[in-house]
Amino acid sequence: MSTPGSANKREPRRFISGVVEGFYGRPWTMEQRTELFKREEKWGLNTYLYAPKDDYKHRMYWRDLYSPEEAEQLIALISAAKQHNIDFVYAISPGLDVTFSNPNEVAALKRKLDQVKEFGCSSFSLLFDDIEREMCPADKEAFSSFAHAQVAITNTVYQHLGEPETFLFCPTDYCAAFCTPTVTQSSYLNTVGEGLLPGIDILWTGPKVVSNKISVESIEEVTSVMRRPPVIWDNIHANDYDPQRILLGPFKDRPSELISKLRGVLTNPNCEFYPNFVAIHTLATWCKATAEGGQRDVEMDAEEQDPYYSPQKALTLALTDWLQEFQSTAQPGGPCPPAARLKKESSDEEPMQTDMGESSYVPGPGDNPLYTAEPLTLEDLRLLSDLFYLPYEHGPTARAMLQELDWLKNNSAAAAAETGQTQEWCSRAQQFDDMCEAVVQMFNRLSNAPNRSILYDLYNYICDIKSGVGLARTYVKRLGGQGRPSFNVMNDDPEPWGFRGGLSGEFQRMLPCHGNRDLFKHPPMTAVYCIRPYCPADKVEVQRIFREMQKQQMAQPPLICDGLSAGEIPPSPQCALVLEDDIGMCGYALALTDAKPAAAKIQRAVSGSVFEDFPSLITIQVLARVTDPSPARRMVGQLLSSIRSSGSRGAFCELRHSDRRMLHFYTKLGSFTPLKMAGLPQDIITMGTGL
Ligand code: GDL
């Protein structure tokens, strides 16, 4: 039975803040969740949204009621949340297979939520994220749209449960990127906004699924469409989409001005429970950073723009507290404190080596000294956080390391060819080596820390970064002329850690440009580009770009590729792409898998051996307004991959000496090197790459 309308008489509702366990993969344990409630209470957060994607009865078997054993656990959990003043919100995701128009389905949903209500839960949530948008025939018949179907079932369930104080709805279009054509014009979101009863709050992840920044303007926009301020489901610290990443940087790039414009923020953090200390602690600091309640920060760094919240300071606060936690032995698998060690009996949870009973071995004069663990430091944790920072940003030390490696790589060959590496090179190589050593030391001290629960959650990641850094370190040593040949990173017969990443790594490396984006070289950009196959109707635009670019160069002597750009020679199949931005076409990339006929056409003499190694030709032009080199790089990558599939052994390009921009571009690509060709007109350079 419903208890109508209570939403209207309520006091101004408190800002919802806390954690959503909403990731894919292994759910947290009941103990971890109880620990979470303690932390949330201590740090001033107030909500926990139970939504583990891979929990059977949350999503896949949403209709199934809980067994007596499961019920007992949930009852205990809900009561633990209450004890710590945490609002336990039970979420259910029926969207995989629910038939909205079938009364039995609605009844099944009510029955399940009634059961959870009996466990003591009073806050609920219906989630429709990550599901098919297509309705079944029966629903199409009953509802004018998917949004109408979701609104109907949500309102029914909300009223059935007595209009709970907290009731959250997650739309299928839960971020701006999913809205078609735009947030304001999305008919889905407008229907949801108009149709959902006012006491129901709506979850929103921001501009994207994992939002780099969330601006005040974007929230004002979505608020007007939803007819209520959203509760942010923040995926900034989620890592379920990439098994090589864990996010240990501070909550960031959400201006604290947002607090007064939102209904709440719930973070959906890393799958590993213990490393979420930083994610949750910094979110809690952010939540306190209001103009009314917070201290205005008078020592604000020039880079920081938020007067009430500094991510760097929040991070230091979090890491300082986290350091204490690493010292704790009060968890399974940790070493015994010395006094307890004498009394403790062996337990199943203890690793073998700590099960030493009362052995307090004292080495003799000629014996090995005992291994002594150095304590972990705040600097170690700062480094750890820098190495595993945020989805779109590496921490300062990680950035510095990448920058140094890049410089050492780019400046080594020229210097070494003459008199060996310069003094500057050597001293920077040494500094790089020191930074790598700090990572190894951090790894050692972390592995020795008493709190094994945190360590085990972090272990794969720190091992991975230690190996990655180790490879880079060996490479720099080799550039500097040190290191045994067997250390050669490019060894013909490496150990498996010399070709890392498994099958997935192999797939990535096979894709053009390794199929990846390095954050260091390509920080998130704001312009959106589209690369699509060339079609005959594009000929005029391609010619226009060609002429525009030609204006800036001498047109004589002609290049082999000119006929291609001018539309006189058609490109080979699958070998033509165009680049567009929001203004229009802004570049193109064309190729011939066999360049011989085109060379003959302009009577260019090219030696047979060059055509043997590099039978194909590519040309690319990008207007000056495209300052980001990555779209051009991606086009070249895609062309080379098509040329390779045609069976060609290599490709070349021709450039004029005066075309500094393209020269720089091809040089930076790394794969193209200058080709020596007799009889080439003086101001033309040819560069080639094997495939
Ligand atoms: C998502 C999923 C979430 C997942 C996250 C990160 C929402 C609303 N849903 O799209 O379960 O953990 O991405 O991969 O964010």
Q: Under CATH, to which class is 530-690 assigned?
A: alpha beta
Residue 341 has pLDDT above 50, yes or no: no
Q: pLDDT category, 71, cuts 50, 70, 90? A: very high
Residue 348 has pLDDT above 80, yes or no: no
Q: pLDDT category, 6, cuts 50, 70, 90? A: very low
Report angle CA 415, 509, 518 to the nearest 5 degrees.
65
| Residue % of the chain over a pLDDT of 90 | 69
DSSP 267: E
Q: Is 139 in the pocket of ligand 1 (CB under 6 A)?
A: no
Distance from the alpha carbon of residue 24 to the mean position of ligand 1, in angstroms? 8
Of the listed ranges 47-61, 159-173, 208-222, 542-556, the least confidently predicted one is 542-556
Assess whether the region 378-510 and the region 530-690 belong to the same CATH fold. no
Distances (CA, A) of 325 to 18, 237, 461, 463, 661: 20, 20, 19, 21, 53
Q: Where exactly are the structural domains of the chain? A: 4-296, 378-510, 530-690
Q: Is 234 in the pocket of ligand 1 (CB under 6 A)?
A: no
Structure tokens at 252: 């960031």
What pLDDT score does 484 carry?
A: 58
Specify whether domain 378-510 bears CATH 1.20.58.240.
yes
Q: Is 240 in the pocket of ligand 1 (CB under 6 A)?
A: yes
**Segment 79-101 mean pLDDT:** 98
Q: In 3D, which of 158, 151, 146 has the Cα closest to residue 192?
A: 151
- Which residues, 6 or more positions from 671, have their beta carbon under 8 angstroms from its beta carbon? 640, 689
Distance from the alpha carbon of residue 53 to the mean position of ligand 1, in angstroms? 9
Q: Is 170 in the pocket of ligand 1 (CB under 6 A)?
A: yes
Q: In 3D, which of 94, 107, 194, 185 has the Cα closest to residue 144?
A: 194
Q: Is 25 in the pocket of ligand 1 (CB under 6 A)?
A: no
If you average pLDDT over every residue of the chain, what do you get? 89
User: Using an 8 Å Cβ cutoff, are 93 and 59 in contact?
Assistant: yes
What pLDDT score does 493 carry?
A: 80
Provide φ and ψ at 674, rounded to 5°: -60, 140
Choose from 4-18, 209-223, 336-350, 622-636 the range with maximum mean pLDDT.
209-223
What pLDDT score does 294 carry?
A: 60
pLDDT digits 0-9 by tens, 446-486: 999 999 999 999 999 999 999 999 999 999 998 888 765 54
What pLDDT score does 347 carry?
A: 44
Residue nearest to atom 13 of ligand 1 (CA): 209
Q: 127 - beta bridge partners? A: 170
User: Using an 8 Å Cβ cutoff, are 320 and 378 in contact?
Assistant: yes
Atom of ligand 1 nearest to the CA of 23: 12
Of the listed ranges 78-92, 177-191, 508-522, 537-551, the least confidently predicted one is 508-522
Of the listed ranges 219-223, 358-362, 516-520, 540-544, the least confidently predicted one is 516-520
Top pLDDT among 528 and 14 is at 14
Top pLDDT among 505 and 555 is at 505
Angle between helices 187-195 and 216-226 (to 10 degrees): 60
Question: How far apart (Å, rounded) are the C-alpha atoms in residues 614 and 683?
Answer: 21
Q: pLDDT category, 606, cuts 50, 70, 90? A: confident
Structure tokens at 3: 């208890």
Of the listed ranges 168-182, 311-325, 339-353, 611-625, the least confidently predicted one is 339-353
Strands across the sheet containing 530-533: 530-533, 576-580, 585-592, 616-622, 650-656, 684-690, 673-674
What pLDDT score does 317 carry?
A: 98
Distance from the alpha carbon of residue 22 to the mean position of ligand 1, in angstroms? 7
Of the listed ranges 175-189, 499-513, 559-573, the least confidently predicted one is 499-513
Q: Is 266 in the pocket of ligand 1 (CB under 6 A)?
A: no
Map tokens 């760097």 to a residue.
312
- Which residues, 6 or more positions from 400, have their beta carbon under 8 angstroms from its beta carbon? 435
Of the listed ranges 307-311, 509-513, 535-539, the least confidently predicted one is 509-513
- Catalytic, 253? Answer no
Residue 219 has pLDDT above 70, yes or no: yes
What pLDDT score does 419 carry?
A: 63
Catalytic residue among 130, 297, 306, 594: 130
**Segment 289-314 mean pLDDT:** 75
**Segment 413-433 mean pLDDT:** 79
Residue nearest to atom 11 of ligand 1 (CA): 23
Q: 20 - beta bridge partners? A: 49
Q: What is the 3-state secondary structure (H, E, C) of 32-51?
A: HHHHHHHHHHHHCCCEEEEC
Q: 591 - beta bridge partners? A: 618
| Residue % of the chain over a pLDDT of 70 | 88
Q: Is 23 in the pocket of ligand 1 (CB under 6 A)?
A: yes
Residue nearest to atom 4 of ligand 1 (CA): 23
Residue 100 has pLDDT above 80, yes or no: yes
Residue nearest to atom 15 of ligand 1 (CA): 209
Q: pLDDT category, 2, cuts 50, 70, 90? A: very low
pLDDT digits 0-9 by tens, 371-421: 888 999 999 999 999 999 999 999 999 999 999 999 999 888 654 555 667
Question: How far apart (Å, rounded) are the C-alpha atoms in residues 211 and 226?
Answer: 19
Residue 208 has pLDDT above 50, yes or no: yes
What pLDDT score does 354 carry?
A: 47
Beta strands at 264-267 and 231-234: parallel, antiparallel or unpaired: parallel
Atom of ligand 1 nearest to the CA of 268: 12
Residue 353 has pLDDT above 70, yes or no: no
Atom of ligand 1 nearest to the CA of 210: 6
- The CA-based dihedral angle spanning residues 101, 103, 105, 109, taken in that order and rounded to the nearest 10 degrees: 110
Q: What is the 3-state secondary structure (H, E, C) of 93-120?
A: CCCCCCCCCCHHHHHHHHHHHHHHHHCC
Residue 545 has pLDDT above 70, yes or no: yes
The SS3 call for residue 147 is helix
Question: How far apart (Å, rounded) are the C-alpha atoms in residues 349 and 421?
Answer: 53
**Segment 67-84 mean pLDDT:** 98
Q: Is 28 in the pocket of ligand 1 (CB under 6 A)?
A: no
**Segment 301-315 mean pLDDT:** 84
Selected from 3.40.190.10, 3.40.50.300, 3.20.20.80, 3.40.50.1000, the CATH number assigned to the domain covering 4-296 reads 3.20.20.80
Atom of ligand 1 nearest to the CA of 238: 6
pLDDT digits 0-9 by tens, 354-377: 444 556 889 999 999 988 889 999
pLDDT digits 0-9 by tens, 642-664: 999 899 999 999 998 888 889 88
The preferred substitution site among 169, 235, 270, 271 for testing ligand 1, maximizing ligand atoms within 8 Å of CB, is 235
